[in-house]
Structure 1
Amino acid sequence: MIDAYEEDVIEQDILEPIEDIGKVSIIIPYYNTKDYIEECLHSVLEQTYGNLEIIIVNDGSADDDTVFLEQIMPEDNRVVYIKSEKHRGVASARNIGLKASTGSFLYFLDSDDVITKNAIELLTKYIKDDQLILGTTRRLIKPLDLMNIPLRNKSKVLVIKKLFKVFKNRSVLNLLIRRDIFNDIQSNLFYEGTTCFTDISLLVQLITQLDKITLVKQPTYYKRRRNDPITNPGVMQLSNEVKTNDFIKVYEHLHESYKANEKVTRYLDLLFLNFYRKNIVLLFKDIEKVDQFFSDIAVAAKRLNRKTVANQPMHIRVELKQLRNGNIKKFKKNIKTHLEIRSLKQGLKSLKKFKIYCYRKFFMKMPLKEKHIVFESFLGKNYSDSPRDVYEYMVKNDLDYKYVWIFNDKNRKIPGPAKVVKRFSFKYYYYLGVSKYWVSNSRIPMHIDKREENVYLQTWHGTPLKRLVFDMKEIYSANPNYKKNFYIQSRRWDYLIAPNKYSSNIFKSAFLFEKNMLETGYPRNDILYRDNHPKKINDIKERIGIPLDKKVILYAPTWRDDDYYAAGKYKFNLKLDLQKMKEKLGDDYVIVLRMHYFIADEINTEGLEDFAFNLSKYDEIAELYLISDILITDYSSVFFDYANLKRPILFFAYDLEKYRDKLRGFYINIEEDVPGPVVKTSDDVINKILNIDDVKQQYEAKYDDFYEKFCSWHDGNSTDKVVKKVFLESN
């Protein structure tokens, strides 16, 4: 965006040796960021520019975070550590750091961010006689050790004269500032009256003294996008209500302080107008918020320069006039119209958005169909899992309900009287909008709002081995909003099924779930007790085309969070040597491949058709459990379900250290607690299968203990218990 406002472009080489132009004080406020501070400090300590003063201000962090910080504090004479006993906010921490600083230059860094190894070198090289210089900032989404940060020997430098565009982001980060630009550095340069928008108070001081800013085009600063805005939010991830209160307070304070400075008041007015359109208007989607915020926003709106307002669209000018006049009745009417038009414009951008518009505007407001149930399994890919068991139980018992099944394939045929609806069709949105009950084993999309009268049964799809959502330190998946989105989606669940006490406890912490936990066992596992006999097993084999004279190995691995093409599109690199397995085991065994539904399309079995059967899209994995004699998995939760059969399980964990220590982490010790051997090569897998009787005998006692802990709730009647609780007792 800045490129459009550049006046001069200069390209220079970084010369050797590095010129020392004076001490740079890097000020790092620290508050409960132990998950990030180590990477932050490492990026500072490794700077190619050596004349540094690194001031870390512990702003009253929790005991654990303080202990961690003090343990990793380097023995480096450049580091100054200041500890505040009480948390006062980032503005206070920066003010404390400023007063303790002795450098000729100032640089601010957040403790969850990182800078490139040559960041300070670049900025000091190009600042020349300027009062300050700005580096280029990028988003830090992946962890530092997975990033490829370029360190080039030269950089383009832009001289920018439109300061309002540069400071539109309201941030002092990635600015190298000459200390003598400030008259009194012992005063509070950062406004301490709010949590958010405290940088603006320093920026307006810069604006009063600057006519231009130099920008180094090469990335120097990586701003972390925190993936847990629910339990560990960054300042700008706080609620819109908090941000609105704080912005108005900062705006009022600074407008009054600088009312005689036209340059500053224009900057503040532009910030106000931008904040109004992006935040305040959206805040008023809840029309009751108008009553709460109107008077404060109206007072602030009266300060706006009418010339600045004149450039705004007509509807914004009208709303601002009503704010200034204190006419809340007319303002409410106009803001509702504004939001209606905005919503319609959004809905007309594409067919998908128009369907969403119709869902929210019309379908959700239609009379609720009290006896309609919508079922979905694995995002419409399968007719399977606990939703299938619940549906078939209700049909078999002739319960008085109407059934709708969601599939990606509109021509999908399933037994019983259910209406089949294509996912994301108009009918999909219609039935979700009018049906009282939803039953799903995975998350329904974010844009599907839920009516208060809806009853949502979340069956989930496994006992957790891998750490889930809010029990995970970091998220390395393709979606950096994973935790936030999961939180919003899971607030819609009214019932959640747990397969065992272990899972029940984890679901409460990992999902922050506080509603109705159904401690019944999974309906999907009833089949493992009901149909575990030779006739049913042979019937399934014949239907699939599995030779009756061969034993069956089931390979069911999970997906890897960090291996993806794009958000929601994951890769999988098959490490199991199927060709060697065929050579060693093919006389007695065949192998069935059942990939996670995220990676079902990633497996190629060409040339192994008589040995390897890719049944990743086979609807009911429980039937694959029944026909298999051995399970091979890695970190998938399938082994918890398979253990109900008390058959051998092998754990092919070729990337155990990476998966356990970096990607996910486990709730149990996979090397000691699982009911089977953990192996890391195809040769090990083959050897264990050739000696499977020895494996069974070796793990018999551990298997019995495992069964008692994880399978004892299952007795073949879980579906009956769930249906009675959700659909019969609640009515």
Structure 2
Amino acid sequence: MVNKQNQRVSIIIPFYNTLEFVEDCLNSVLKQTYSSIEIIVINDGSDSENTRYLESLIVDDRIVYLKNETRRGVAYSRNKGLKAATGEFVFFLDSDDLLTEDAIELLVAQIQEYPVVVGRTKRLLRPSDLEFSVDSSELAAERSKETLFKAGSILNVLIRSEFIKEHHIEFSEGTEGYSDLSAVIPVILHSKDLPSINIPTYYKRVRNDPISNPSLVQRPIDERTHEFITVYKGLRNKYGKYVEAKQYLDQTFLRFYRRQVINIFKDVNRFDEMFDLTASAVKVLNPNSIASQPSHIKKELKQLKNSNKVKFQKALRFHIEAWDFKNAIKGFTRLKRYIYKKVFLKFPLKENYIIFESFLGKNFSDSPRNIYEYIIENNLDYQCIWVFNDKNRKIPGNAKIVKRFSLAYYYYFAVSKYWINNMRQPLHLVKRDGNVFLETWHGTPLKKLVFDMKEVYSANPRYKRDFYMQSRAWDYLLSPNRYSSEIFNRAFKFDNEMLEYGYPRNDILYSPKKDEIAERVKETIGIPKDKKVVLYAPTWRDDDYYEPGKYKFQLQLDLHKMKEVLGDEYVVALRMHYFIADDINVEGLDDFAFNLSKYDDIAELYLISDILITDYSSVFFDYANLKRPILFFTYDLDKYRDQLRGFYLDFENDAPGPLLRTSDEVIEAIANIETVKKEYASRYEGFYEMFCSWHDGKSTEKVVKKVLLGENSKTNS
């Protein structure tokens, strides 16, 4: 490709408190194949930590660093960058976004004699999105300017500097968001069809933490609506004599309204305010621009223009009901949710109904099981409902069994006063006034959680937002130790009541009948009484998945070699994480390897196990209650620790057992387990005191008395 490398491109990057992204952003610019660039970074009043970090990255002489002493906004910073720019072309980049390596080279080559060229933008939700294949035989094509600027963004657009100066292009500084429109309008007015690149040149990051650090488009809808309408009305007034500008602005407003109308008016406490605001914009709309809108939108806009709140509310209710019904009839799953929302949620709560769920309906296990069994054993007056994926599941007691996501499931979630779960609940479930939600959770964290994670590599890039919304419904959260309480408060942003009683699921580990239970379990599974048991219980890998909730797993432990060396004395019990979808192949390992991934209660497997092998799973925190040896098979430690999750503990120095990288090391450790026990004895004692000392076999009783019976139980804090 022939380049005009002598023509400089000024890349303008406003920066405000995005230290977790800015290094990637700058690196993507510094690695451009096009060499003649100046990078203008404007620090828009960032805090001291972000400022120090940003300034540590200013090491290339192509970077021009400007600083606002206080936050002035994106528009002000871009205008400041424009004044400092010396290039023949200007390009705007956000500090959390990335460029492809040849982005600027492609854009410069395709601008030819045009004033503007537009690149193709790709959303960046997860690292795998950075991979793409070129599927277009035509590198660039001419498109209408209205199509290219439909989103109202000036990002990923190369503009001639002389065009900017000739048409006095600048950003309106009255708002934080939507200031791009003030720069787009001159392009709409003073250009014709424009070239656009057919392959990605720009990665627009969708931030994974819209709660702690939202982008401008992730802020609350009322803020965005105020700013959008302010910008719309201001530009409509400024360019009132230009028909093309008014048409573009009106269509932009109508797209915003149609996408956001239900959200805009969702908060009934702000209805009057939002009605008056939206009506003020509708009154300046050209009536002809409304002609192509659907009939229900026309009705709403008419009542807004006439300032008739009563009729508008009626029209909006019809819109919402029609949308809900249209969505409901697309399939039985949606229809069930519709019946739940429109019918079941209107039924009264039943004060003595408790609905239980464990591990997404896969098991009768964990702390919900212990609480249920306590209720049964003590003849407490509650109607219990258990959620399973198998509606024919049998469990002790007289609980009602319902299939997950069945119509009965939605009915009982609607009417049960108490919800007890060890996982996050589906987002579409509605916690009603009077509901009491006990979140038992399911482990002491080793891996970083939610808001302590920098990046999200899992299948759900909206993990942080979803988690935050789900955890707002939790009235109580169980904690197994002080360490977990501190992490849960911070990482979950949890500010309701923490029950520091230890986990009910671990009561069995202190049962006076634990040896009897172990014998019964071994007999049920078919493990010979004379064989010792090694339990292998690894976790899932965030970046290796089929879809959300279904993760791949390649077994790295050489079971055949283990059988050959250890088979006379040991058997192996395999317990995969409930997220792992792959079946583990134990062919040829009869009477040695037992795949118990679907066994209900892992605590019973702890009791039969003489040794635990795990990796980064929280199971070792629970197993440590038994004071039996633990081995860590951490063949991918560097990647998991440094890239995927990160750890809360200094894992190498604090783990109560050796970190082993190969199957041979695992086999050797098992063969010499007494030596391992002696070597790690003192570390194990300290670990037990820190993570297990709250457990006394009475956690279930304390939880029931507090949550269900209203009695205060002494916490361990």
TM bucket (normalised to shorter chain) is: over 0.9
In the other structure, the counterpart of 2:75 is 91
In the other structure, the counterpart of 2:62 is 78
One-letter amino acid of the structure 1 residue matched with residue 194 of structure 2 = I
1:143 to 112, 121, 127: 127
- Counterpart mapping for 1:577-592 below 5 A: 577-592=558-573
- Name stretches of at least 5 consecutive residues in structure 1 with no aligned partner: 1-13
In the other structure, the counterpart of 2:325 is 344
Is 2:175 the counterpart of 1:194?
yes
- Structure 1 residue 296: deviation in Å? 1.6
**Cα distance in 2 for residues equivalent to 1:502 and 1:192:** 46
Instruction: Provide the TM-score with structure 2 as the length reference.
Output: 0.97
In the other structure, the counterpart of 1:40 is 25
**Cα distance in 1 for residues equivalent to 2:560 and 2:368:** 37
In the other structure, the counterpart of 1:22 is 7
Distance 1:55 1:112, change over 3 A: same
Cα deviation 1:66-87 (Å, max 9, x = unaligned)? 111111222x221101111111
Q: How many residues align?
A: 712
Is 2:135 the counterpart of 1:157?
no
1:538 to 519, 524, 528: 519
| RMSD across aligned positions (CA) | 1.5
- Counterpart mapping for 1:163-562 below 5 A: 163-183=145-165, 189-530=170-511, 533-562=514-543
- Structure 1 residue 532: deviation in Å? 5.6
**Cα distance in 2 for residues equivalent to 1:464 and 1:726:** 24
One-letter amino acid of the structure 1 residue matched with residue 522 of structure 2 = K
Distance 1:555 1:529, change over 3 A: same
SS of equivalent residue, structure 1 residue 169: coil
Distance 1:171 1:22, change over 3 A: same
1:66 to 34, 42, 51: 51
One-letter amino acid of the structure 1 residue matched with residue 161 of structure 2 = R
SS of equivalent residue, structure 2 residue 599: coil
Is 2:599 the counterpart of 1:614?
no
- Structure 1 residue 539: deviation in Å? 1.1
**Cα distance in 1 for residues equivalent to 2:517 and 2:300:** 70
Kept after mapping to 2: 8 A contact 1:244/1:280: no
**Cα distance in 1 for residues equivalent to 2:614 and 2:114:** 61
In the other structure, the counterpart of 1:666 is 647
Instruction: Provide the TM-score with structure 1 as the length reference.
Output: 0.95
Distance 1:112 1:498, change over 3 A: same
**Cα distance in 1 for residues equivalent to 2:297 and 2:136:** 47
SS of equivalent residue, structure 2 residue 314: helix
- Structure 1 residue 453: deviation in Å? 1.5
**Cα distance in 2 for residues equivalent to 1:208 and 1:651:** 65
- Structure 1 residue 150: deviation in Å? 5.1
Distance 1:465 1:532, change over 3 A: farther
SS of equivalent residue, structure 1 residue 708: helix
Kept after mapping to 2: 8 A contact 1:59/1:88: yes
Kept after mapping to 1: 8 A contact 2:559/2:593: yes
Cα deviation 1:48-76 (Å, max 9, x = unaligned)? 111111101111111111111111222x2
One-letter amino acid of the structure 2 residue matched with residue 456 of structure 1 = F
Cα deviation 1:569-588 (Å, max 9, x = unaligned)? 21001111101100010000
- Structure 1 residue 285: deviation in Å? 3.0
Cα deviation 1:464-491 (Å, max 9, x = unaligned)? 0010000111111111100000100111
Is 2:660 the counterpart of 1:676?
no
- Structure 1 residue 338: deviation in Å? 1.2
- Structure 1 residue 183: deviation in Å? 3.6
- Structure 1 residue 290: deviation in Å? 2.2
Distance 1:153 1:138, change over 3 A: closer
- Structure 1 residue 568: deviation in Å? 2.3
**Cα distance in 1 for residues equivalent to 2:241 and 2:433:** 52
SS of equivalent residue, structure 1 residue 182: helix
Cα deviation 1:419-439 (Å, max 9, x = unaligned)? 000001000001001111100
- Structure 1 residue 153: deviation in Å? 11
SS of equivalent residue, structure 1 residue 672: helix
One-letter amino acid of the structure 2 residue matched with residue 428 of structure 1 = Y
One-letter amino acid of the structure 2 residue matched with residue 160 of structure 1 = R
**Cα distance in 1 for residues equivalent to 2:414 and 2:518:** 40
SS of equivalent residue, structure 2 residue 541: coil
Is 2:106 the counterpart of 1:122?
yes
The sequence identity of aligned pairs, in percent, is 57
Kept after mapping to 2: 8 A contact 1:600/1:617: no
- Structure 1 residue 365: deviation in Å? 1.3
Distance 1:634 1:440, change over 3 A: same
Is 2:108 the counterpart of 1:108?
no
**Cα distance in 1 for residues equivalent to 2:656 and 2:694:** 18
In the other structure, the counterpart of 1:133 is 117
- Structure 1 residue 138: deviation in Å? 0.6
In the other structure, the counterpart of 1:11 is none
Stretch of structure 1 that moved more, 146-155 or 91-100: 146-155
Cα deviation 1:258-284 (Å, max 9, x = unaligned)? 111110111110011111111123322
In the other structure, the counterpart of 2:672 is 691
Kept after mapping to 2: 8 A contact 1:290/1:332: no
- Name stretches of at least 5 consecutive residues in structure 2 with no aligned partner: 713-717
One-letter amino acid of the structure 1 residue matched with residue 409 of structure 2 = Y
Cα deviation 1:667-691 (Å, max 9, x = unaligned)? 1111111111111110000001010
**Cα distance in 2 for residues equivalent to 1:420 and 1:253:** 60
- Structure 1 residue 42: deviation in Å? 0.8
Cα deviation 1:700-719 (Å, max 9, x = unaligned)? 11111111110000000000
Kept after mapping to 2: 8 A contact 1:155/1:218: no
- Structure 1 residue 168: deviation in Å? 1.5
SS of equivalent residue, structure 2 residue 652: coil
One-letter amino acid of the structure 2 residue matched with residue 94 of structure 1 = R
